[in-house]
Structure 1
Amino acid sequence: MTTPASGLACIRCGAPPVVHWTRRLTDDEFAAFVALEQARRDLATALADPQGPPPDFGPLPVESDNARSVYACIDHSISLDAAALVHAKTCTAPPCNCTPEPAPQPEPAPDPVELPPGWSDA
């Protein structure tokens, strides 16, 4: 099977993808990601102006903040509802045997804006 021009392919058979979903990074993927980020920080620190303050990068990434896209063709796709959720790091679907993370709760509606006296909202 040839890889599509976009470089994206079904995780199972390599066919052009029609759907994607996200899963958490595996332990090895996450370790490589953190090592790459640490190397970037080390290089930025080495290249920083020694007369200025050192760069402040904040904390290193955590597993719950990172996900990877999984692509599938029509024969290996999952439902739209399942694709909308973040799956476990071991999920390669189908079949999806993991318990996806719950969907985020919607933002509450903002309080209505009170108009100045004499203004109308109609």
Structure 2
Amino acid sequence: MTTPTPLEPLIAITPPAIGCAATGCPGTVAVQWRRRLTDAELADALALEQHRRETAAAEADPSGPPPDFGPMPTSADYTRAVYACGRHALSLDLAAHVHAATCTAPGAALPGCDCTPEPLPGEQPPTTPDTVTLPTGWVVPAP
């Protein structure tokens, strides 16, 4: 009986070299936050998605139902990671938010940025109806 050997990976994936986004900074990445895509980046992402859909539709089984991809993504569906060294990092509070595509962070004015970050999901007003009909027999306790 032979002992099975572990399979070798078919593809060795090396992550790209990621550096600080500050202009000319050779610093090692310590933090990351997200921003929306610029118009050019969004156009590239949408072109890639359209190509993916066309390829999947062309390779689909013609005897089956056609693939249903749903609507094309919008800018709200994409973010891009921004990396920085410790010296060029945003504050933890700012890093938790999604920033505008034009945000210049990291920049000279750190630890801030020059955009208005999107509110966190918990910071948005609740979308509950003004009135709620309870099932028969249910009551709302007095505050």
TM category, shorter: 0.7 to 0.9
**TM-score normalized by structure 2?**
0.67
Pair 1:84-2:113 in alignment: no
- Tell me how far 1:6 sits from its aligned partner: 6.0
**TM-score normalized by structure 1?**
0.78
Q: Flag the structure with larger Rg.
A: 2
Pair 1:102-2:102 in alignment: no
Structure 2 gaps, min length 5: 1-14, 127-143
Distance across 2 between alignment mates of 1:14 and 1:102: 31
Structure 1 letter corresponding to 2:122: Q
Q: Secondary structure at the match of 1:105?
A: helix
Structure with greater contact order relative to length (CA < 8 Å, sep ≥ 6): 1
Pair 1:10-2:20 in alignment: yes
Q: Secondary structure at the match of 2:122?
A: coil
Q: How does 1:1-122 map to 2 (within 5 A)?
A: 7-12=17-22, 13-94=25-106, 95=109, 96-105=113-122
Structure 1 gaps, min length 5: 109-122
Which 4+ residue blocks in structure 1 deviate beyond 2 angstroms? none
Over aligned residue pairs, what C-alpha RMSD do you find?
1.8
Distance across 2 between alignment mates of 1:45 and 1:65: 22
Deviations 1:23-62 (A, max 9, x none): 0000000000000000000001011111111110011111
Q: Secondary structure at the match of 2:121?
A: coil
